[in-house]
Amino acid sequence: MRVSASAQRDREAEAHGYDEAMAPPLASSPVLVRCKGILFDMDGILISSLGSVERSWTKWARMREVDPAYALSMIHGRRAIESVAMMRPDLDPAAELNLIEDIELGDGEGITVLPGVKELLAALPAERWTVVTSATERLARMRLTASGFTVPNRLVTAETVNEGKPHPAPYLAGAALLGWAPEECVVFEDSASGVASGCAAGCIVVGTTFSHEAEHLECATYLVRDLGGMVVSVLPGGEGLALRFTPLERR
107 in active site:
no
* 34: nearest Cα among 236, 179, 244: 244
Torsions phi, psi for 35 (to 5 deg)? -155, 175
The residue from 10, 19, 43, 226 that is catalytic is 43
* 194: nearest Cα among 14, 39, 15: 39
DSSP string, the chain: ----HHHHHHHHHHHHT--TTSPPTT-SS-EEEEESEEEE-SBTTTEE-HHHHHHHHHHHHHHTT--HHHHHHH-TTS-HHHHHHHH-TTS-HHHHHHHHHHHHHT--TT-EEPTTHHHHHHHS-GGGEEEB-SS-HHHHHHHHHHTT----SS-B-TTT-SS-TTSSHHHHHHHHHHTS-GGGEEEEE-SHHHHHHHHHHT-EEEEE-SSS-GGG-TT-SEEESSSTT-EEEEEGGGTEEEEEE-PPPP-
207: left (phi over 0), alpha (psi -120 to 50) or beta: beta
247 with 26: CB under 8 angstroms? yes
102 in active site:
no
The residue from 41, 90, 102, 190 that is catalytic is 41
Catalytic residue annotation:
41, 43
